[in-house]
Amino acid sequence: MAKIKNIKINESAGDKILNTITNIILVLLILIVGYPILYVISCSFTKTDALSAGMVVLWPVDVNGNFAISLEAYEFVLQYKAVWTGFRMSVFYTVCDVFLQMTMTILVAYPLSRRSFQGRSIYTMIFYMSTRVSAGLIPGFILKCDLGLFDNIWAVLISGSVSVSHILILRTCFQTAIPGELFDSAMIDGANHFTCVTKIALPLAKATLSVLILYCIVGQWNEYFTSMLYLRDQKLYPLQLVLRPIMQAATAMGQMDTAEMNAAAREQANSGLENVRYALIVISSAPVIAAYFVVQKYFKGGVMLGSVKG
């Protein structure tokens, strides 16, 4: 098989200047976004004395400025068994929330996207009005308590099982990105609606679904307010609620009475507080960042490439 030679494109002087400026801007944006992340990770692995001396610039160091990794902040945080329980519950809530949200979103978005579905405009308006009109926090709390959802994991799961914004996004994707002729031809060949959803709609809307899944993961992982309202059993706490008392314990280290500690000890406690803060940021953010790297590969590619011709 003959090799294809690289085709060299002659760029004008204006194009070269524009490309150079664009590359410089992109590099600056990467540094602006990437350096704070690198700094937080480095501080979380730095010893307290080096951190209090302000010696961290790019990587973890010791008091002499040499590269050194310390796990004392993570040891302080991970010594709490509740952290492991909270992490497990956060994973459970996130997985269940993604499954429930995407199931409800697909089941509602697909019929709303079909022109043959009678009354779809009315149902769409009803869903949209629910985002503008709300009974409020207290009536919702009373209703869930009357339904027996207080101190129950279903209070957390049901609260986020339906997202109107996700329904409208996926409905628009089904309407604009997928030609109706595909569904019509499949129905003529004997396919039912379940087959149309699983074999046509979902594969062609993979990019949109991946974005919605990422939104669900980030939203549920960072959620704490609903759990704080409805959960009293600490074994059901998500990670965000578990890390709160740990942060308070670390704060108490830096707020001890001056009569009980000298200046050096106070400085050590304050630096230890900062060390733990950075470790908490890394622990709570790492799963979300990992989820992005897993899902982001589906953002690329032409979703409708080759689906319809002529």
Q: Specify which of 26-40, 42-56, 178-192 reaches the highest per-range mean pLDDT.
A: 26-40
Question: Among 55-59, 64-68, 92-96, 265-269, which is the least confidently predicted range?
Answer: 265-269
- Chain segment 162-176, per-residue pLDDT in tens: 888 889 888 988 888
* Segments of 188-285 assigned E as strands: none
Count of residues for the chain?
310
More confident residue, 245 or 125: 125
* Structural domains of the chain sorted by starting position, each given as residue range(s) with its CATH number in brackets: 17-70 (no CATH), 81-304 (1.10.3720.10)
* 212 contact partners, CB below 8 Å, separation of at least 6: 101, 102, 105, 166, 169, 170
* Angle between helical axes of 263-295 and 81-113 (0-180°, round to 10): 30
| Rounded Cα distance, 267 and 61, in Å | 18
Q: Specify which of 33-42, 63-72, 125-134 reaches the highest per-range mean pLDDT.
A: 33-42
Written as six digits, the tokens of 116 are 């043959």
> Global pTM?
0.78
Q: Are 208 and 170 in contact (CB under 8 A)?
A: yes
- Chain segment 205-248, per-residue pLDDT in tens: 888 888 888 889 888 898 888 888 898 888 889 988 888 777 76
- The band of 254, judged by pLDDT with boundaries at 50, 70 and 90, is low
Q: What DSSP line would sit under 147-163, residue for residue?
A: TT-TTSHHHHHHHTS--
